[in-house]
């Protein structure tokens, strides 16, 4: 129709046209959906192909994992966000970090009686690698950090304290506030610290310094040395470098809590 | 003699200060007890004099200039006594017997050697057991007499041996 009509006939025609448009609309939506389904199907099979091709690489190469994670981050995907998920299941990324998390917990538990639940990322890394053996998959510190973040999110009492360019990994829910953290960072340099050093280094009152150091003693994170030249020293087993070269002795093994 | 492997705590300065925190102190004492027994075992020491011990490498780490105080040593010795690894020889607690292996454990080792060599029902002098040529490669070789006697007495109470008197001393018959 080229002319708008008036009158009953015109109204009827209009109604007919509307109905037709509506139908067309439905048909259009269905079309779109069908097209989208097809696209998704193609997308899914590409992803599956990608997954099977790279599953091996994910497990074998820490470098690949870093790049993969960064790629996911750019497109707003967190492959570790949920245990069950395409990435987690298809690529086994979740498995990898889950297993690593379990290993990290084991190492931390084994050493807790020594260091009170605080360990340097370096030492953790060394021991995890050792535990995996010669032919095991490569694990980087980046992997450890991710696994620990995941553990932290799951509420396992894990935390990471930045010290001297790296981290101290905390595996027990000891109450460590900013004051404690900052003293740990100060102690990192020599593995020990005195009340005066804390007082001068952080410009605190003597009482505050003493209070924090006493707390570290109470939490089993620090030991007291009264035979030092000058004032008593507070030493942290976690920062004691000699530890990293020695294994747990059988006697220590007997002392470990189940 | 193989060189002794010191545990990590030995080079950790606070290890030589009795820890104020109760839990930490427990770990410390357990580690000291272990270390003391291992050290004595390695050096085949059966008795310790407290004052001498304070100057020995065990309780005095010259490399890090740290040593245990006499009180700390007494605390450790008391722990060892409670666990059955130490006995005071005098009322003033200046000298003690250190049993890094308990008499029963020694008895077992000796009996094993005796039966392995088909020598059950033989008689031995104490000297033969502790210093004879035949026992040179055994762990109980060099065992001091008082300890050897206790070991044999333990076997005796198990019915596996009898301590007897010989012309010039004591001996033992194994069953």
3-state secondary structure of A234: strand
Return the pLDDT at B144: 87
Give the residues across from A119 on adjacent strands. A169
**What is the average pLDDT across B23-41?**
95
Do A225 and B13 lie within an 8 Å CB cutoff? yes
| C-alpha span between B57 and B43 (Å, rounded) | 11
| A84, A163: one domain | yes
Return the pLDDT at A192: 95
Q: Which of B21, B22, B54 should one mutate to test binding to chain A, selecting the residue with the greatest count of A CBs within 10 A? A: B21
Do B66 and A225 lie within an 8 Å CB cutoff? yes
Say if A210 falls within a structural domain.
Answer: yes
**What is the average pLDDT across B11-18?**
96
| A136, A213: one domain | no
Do B19 and A224 lie within an 8 Å CB cutoff? yes
3-state secondary structure of A224: strand
Say if A208 falls within a structural domain.
Answer: yes
Give the residues across from B166 on adjacent strands. B169
Residues in chain B, overall count: 175
Do B14 and A224 lie within an 8 Å CB cutoff? yes
pLDDT for B58-69, tens place per residue? 999 999 999 999
| pLDDT(B139) > 80 | yes
Query: Which of A131, A148, A173 corresponds to the end of one domain?
Result: A173
| C-alpha span between B138 and B44 (Å, rounded) | 13
How many structural domains does chain A have? 2
Say if A133 falls within a structural domain.
Answer: yes
What pLDDT band is residue B23 in, cutting at 50, 70 and 90?
very high
On whether any CB of chain B is under 8 Å from the CB of A247, the answer is no
Instruction: List, as ranges, residues 48-67 from A with C-beta within 8 Å of B.
Output: none
Residue with tokens 């498995």: A95
Say if A29 falls within a structural domain.
Answer: no
Nearest CB to B27; choose among A228, A242, A255? A255
Q: Mapped to the 3 state alphabet, what secondary structure does chain B carry?
A: CCCCCCCHHHHCHHHHCCCCCHHHHHHHHHHHHHHHHHHHHHHCCCEEEHHHHHHCCCCEEHHHCEECCHHHHHHHHHHHHHCCCEEECCCCCCEEEECCCCHHHHHHHHHHHHHHCCCCCCEEEHHHHHHCHHHCCCCCCCCCHHHHHHHHHHHHHCCCEEEEEECCEEEEEEC
Which residues touch A44 (CB under 8 Å, ≥6 apart)?
A: none
Nearest CB to B66; choose among A220, A224, A227? A227
pLDDT for A102-137, tens place per residue? 899 999 988 988 898 999 999 999 999 888 876 666
Do A223 and B65 lie within an 8 Å CB cutoff? no
| A164, A247: one domain | no
Query: The CATH number of the domain where A140 resides is what?
Result: 1.10.10.10
This model of the complex carries an ipTM of 0.81
On whether any CB of chain B is under 8 Å from the CB of A240, the answer is yes
Q: Which of A187, A194, A227 should one mutate to test binding to chain B, selecting the residue with the greatest count of B CBs within 10 A? A: A227
| A121, A218: one domain | no
Return the pLDDT at A169: 94
pLDDT for B86-120, tens place per residue? 999 999 999 999 999 888 999 999 999 999 988 88
Task: Report if pTM > 0.95.
Answer: no
Say if A85 falls within a structural domain.
Answer: yes
Q: Residue A226: give the domain boundaries.
A: 176-258
Low-confidence spans in chain A with pLDDT less than 50: 1, 244-245, 247, 250, 256-258
Do B20 and A224 lie within an 8 Å CB cutoff? yes
| A219, A164: one domain | no
Say if A145 falls within a structural domain.
Answer: yes
Chain A positions in Cβ-Cβ contact with residue B72 (cut-off 8 Å): none
| C-alpha span between A120 and A125 (Å, rounded) | 9
| A88, A168: one domain | yes
DSSP per residue over A9-59, as a string? HHHHHHHHHHHHHHHHHHHHHHHHHHHHHHHHHHHHHHHHHHHHHHHHHHH
Mean pLDDT of chain A: 80
Q: Which two tokens stand for residue A188?
A: 């990192």
| A159, A68: one domain | yes
Instruction: List, as ranges, residues 12-71 from B with C-beta within 8 Å of A.
Output: 12-17, 19-21, 23-24, 27-28, 30-31, 34-35, 38, 65-67
């Amino acid at each position: 129709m080229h002319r708008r009509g008036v009158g009953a006939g015109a109204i009827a025609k209009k109604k007919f046209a509307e109905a037709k448009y509506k139908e067309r609309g439905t048909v259009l939506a269905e079309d779109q959906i069908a097209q989208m389904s097809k696209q998704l199907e193609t997308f899914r099979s590409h992803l599956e192909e990608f997954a099977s091709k790279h599953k091996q690489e994910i497990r074998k190469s820490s470098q690949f994992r870093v790049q993969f994670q960064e790629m996911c981050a750019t497109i707003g995907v967190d492959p570790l966000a949920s245990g069950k998920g395409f990435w987690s299941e298809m690529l086994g990324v979740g498995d990898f970090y889950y297993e690593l998390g379990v290993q990290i917990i084991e190492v931390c538990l084994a050493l807790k009686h020594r260091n009170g639940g605080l360990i340097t990322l370096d030492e953790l890394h060394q021991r995890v690698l050792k535990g995996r053996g010669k032919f095991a998959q490569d694990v980087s510190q980046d992997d450890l950090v991710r696994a620990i973040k995941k553990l932290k999110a799951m509420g396992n009492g894990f935390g990471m304290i930045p010290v001297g360019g790296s981290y101290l990994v905390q595996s027990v829910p000891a109450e460590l506030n900013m004051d404690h953290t900052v003293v740990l960072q100060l102690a990192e340099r020599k593995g020990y610290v005195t009340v005066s050093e804390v007082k001068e280094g952080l410009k605190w009152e003597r009482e505050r310094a003493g209070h924090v150091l006493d707390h570290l003693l109470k939490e089993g994170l620090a030991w007291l040395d009264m035979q030092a030249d000058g004032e008593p020293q507070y030493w942290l087993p976690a920062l004691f470098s000699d530890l990293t070269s020695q294994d747990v002795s059988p006697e220590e093994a007997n002392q470990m809590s189940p | 003699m193989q060189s002794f492997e010191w545990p990590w705590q030995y080079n950790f300065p606070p290890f030589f200060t009795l820890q104020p925190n109760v839990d930490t102190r427990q770990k410390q004492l357990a580690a000291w007890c272990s270390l003391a027994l291992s050290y004595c075992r390695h050096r085949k020491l059966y008795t310790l004099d407290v004052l001498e011990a304070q100057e020995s490498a065990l309780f005095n780490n010259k490399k890090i200039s740290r040593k245990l105080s006499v009180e700390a040593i007494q605390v450790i010795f008391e722990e060892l006594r409670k666990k059955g690894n130490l006995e005071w020889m005098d009322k003033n607690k200046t000298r003690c017997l250190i049993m890094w292996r308990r008499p029963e454990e020694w008895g077992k080792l000796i009996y094993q050697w005796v039966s392995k060599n088909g020598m059950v029902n033989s008689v031995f002098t104490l000297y033969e057991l502790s210093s004879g040529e035949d026992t040179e490669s055994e762990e109980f070789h060099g065992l001091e007499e008082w300890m050897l006697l206790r070991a044999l007495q333990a076997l005796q109470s198990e019915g596996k041996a009898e301590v007897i008197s010989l012309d010039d001393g004591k001996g033992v018959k194994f069953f």
